[in-house]
């Protein structure tokens, strides 16, 4: 009786064996095995190359591999292609993560956690570029990773603003009028800003990337405002939500343009495009005010936002070619 009150086991009861906890490192054995640098180096020399990332979360293994590149004496024997391949596969994995948090259905990320995941994604992207691009001191490897940076990261963010705006405002048109609680558009906008700030800090030329952002954003604005609007006599909540979401996403796209036009360096005489992308971007921006005016009644607020971008493009030398 006394043993039961004090919580001590009685003499007739066998003492319970304490479960032995596995060391925390065992949980990550598989990850560390994939990232063992000497194993990776052996595979590279044998012609196997870098392993393919299975999903977006596997990017951490690529980061660990990259971190070891500048801490080993054997890094000097590696070709730039090894470093570039690992950066590119990391960018693709981050791009898949962007698509996942933007997606409305089938996302593995809970809606309430998407803002935190977007912030984590931004930190990973900046960390990736700051820690790897300077590893090739003889010449810049940014041109070799630019395509993946544009297609996997930048384009996915630019294309994500409008569907996210639609989701927020169309949710108000339902009978329950339940607003989407999580808005990751500010997080994505900051990702682009921090990306360009990072390239400036490590003294990488980013004019071609900025021109790509301007051109892609102008094309996306034109695509959205070229869609024939519903008849004026339709004033349903759903139609109103569509119109508001179009104007709301325009604000974010114009914010992207202002960010890209800031600190715009003059084109280098060594660049191969000879101002072609810059000229196309100027033409795409110049066509936007007329496109917005074609909607009746003309949206003066939307037109004013676009004219503000055109003014900044002119003052900051987007029209200037080498």
Residues 6+ apart with CB under 8 A from 247: 299, 301, 302
Please compute the mean of the pLDDT values over residues 29-48 and round it to a whole number.
44
Could you read off the pLDDT of 94-103 as tens digits, one per residue? 898 898 888 8
Task: Based on the fold, state whether residues 88 and 193 are members of the same structural domain.
Answer: yes
Task: Based on the fold, state whether residues 56 and 135 are members of the same structural domain.
Answer: yes
Residues in the chain: 322
Is the alpha carbon torsion for 292, 298, 299, 303 positive or negative? positive
R_g of the chain, CA atoms, integer Å: 26
Asked whether residue 28 is domain-assigned, the answer is no
CA distance 119 to 127: 12
* DSSP result, 250-261: HHHHHHHHHHHH
Asked whether residue 314 is domain-assigned, the answer is no
Task: Based on the fold, state whether residues 191 and 237 are members of the same structural domain.
Answer: no
Asked whether residue 191 is domain-assigned, the answer is yes
**pTM for the whole thing?**
0.75
Task: Based on the fold, state whether residues 143 and 239 are members of the same structural domain.
Answer: no
Could you read off the pLDDT of 81-128 as tens digits, one per residue? 777 888 888 898 889 889 888 887 666 677 778 888 889 889 889 988
Q: What total number of domains does the chain contain?
A: 2
Q: Counting beta carbons within 10 angstroms of the beta carbon of residue 190, is it exposed (0 to 12), middle (13 to 18) or buried (19 or more)? A: middle
Task: Based on the fold, state whether residues 131 and 257 are members of the same structural domain.
Answer: no
The first and second tokens of residue 50, run together, are 């870098």
Please compute the mean of the pLDDT values over residues 49-68 and round it to a whole number.
55
Task: Based on the fold, state whether residues 197 and 261 are members of the same structural domain.
Answer: no
The owner of tokens 């020399």 is 45
Asked whether residue 231 is domain-assigned, the answer is yes
What is the extent of the structural domain holding 128? 33-70+77-173+184-205
Task: Based on the fold, state whether residues 231 and 150 are members of the same structural domain.
Answer: no
Asked whether residue 279 is domain-assigned, the answer is no
The first and second tokens of residue 248, run together, are 């709301």
Task: Based on the fold, state whether residues 161 and 233 are members of the same structural domain.
Answer: no
The first and second tokens of residue 52, run together, are 């393919």
Asked whether residue 309 is domain-assigned, the answer is no
């Amino acid at each position: 009786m006394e043993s039961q009150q004090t919580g001590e086991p009685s003499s007739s009861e066998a003492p319970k064996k304490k479960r032995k906890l596995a060391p925390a490192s065992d949980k990550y054995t598989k990850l560390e095995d994939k990232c063992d640098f000497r194993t990776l180096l052996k595979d590279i020399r044998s012609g196997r190359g870098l392993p393919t990332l299975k999903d977006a979360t596997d990017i951490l293994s690529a980061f660990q591999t990259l971190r070891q590149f500048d801490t080993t004496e054997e890094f000097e024997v590696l070709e730039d292609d090894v470093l570039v391949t690992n950066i590119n596969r990391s960018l693709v994995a981050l791009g898949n993560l962007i698509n996942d948090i933007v997606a409305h259905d089938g996302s593995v990320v809970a809606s309430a956690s998407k803002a935190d995941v977007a912030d984590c994604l931004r930190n990973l992207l900046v960390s990736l570029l700051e820690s790897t691009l300077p590893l090739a001191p003889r010449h810049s490897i940014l041109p070799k990773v630019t395509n993946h940076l544009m297609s996997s990261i930048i384009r996915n963010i630019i294309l994500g603003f409008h569907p996210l705006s639609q989701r927020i405002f169309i949710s108000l048109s339902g009978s329950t009028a339940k607003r989407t609680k999580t808005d990751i558009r500010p997080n994505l906008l900051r990702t682009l800003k921090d990306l360009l700030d990072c390239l400036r800090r490590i003294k990488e030329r980013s004019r071609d990337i900025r021109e790509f952002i301007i051109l892609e954003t102008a094309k996306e604005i034109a695509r959205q405002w070229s869609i024939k609007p519903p008849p004026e006599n339709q004033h349903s909540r759903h139609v109103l939500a569509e119109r508001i979401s179009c104007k709301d996403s325009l604000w974010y796209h114009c914010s992207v343009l202002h960010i890209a036009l800031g600190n715009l360096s003059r084109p280098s005489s060594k660049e191969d495009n000879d101002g072609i992308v810059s000229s196309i971007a100027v033409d795409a921006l110049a066509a936007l005010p007329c496109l917005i005016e074609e909607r009746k009644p003309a949206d003066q607020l939307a037109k004013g936002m676009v004219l503000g971008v055109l003014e900044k493009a002119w003052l900051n030398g987007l029209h200037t070619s080498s």
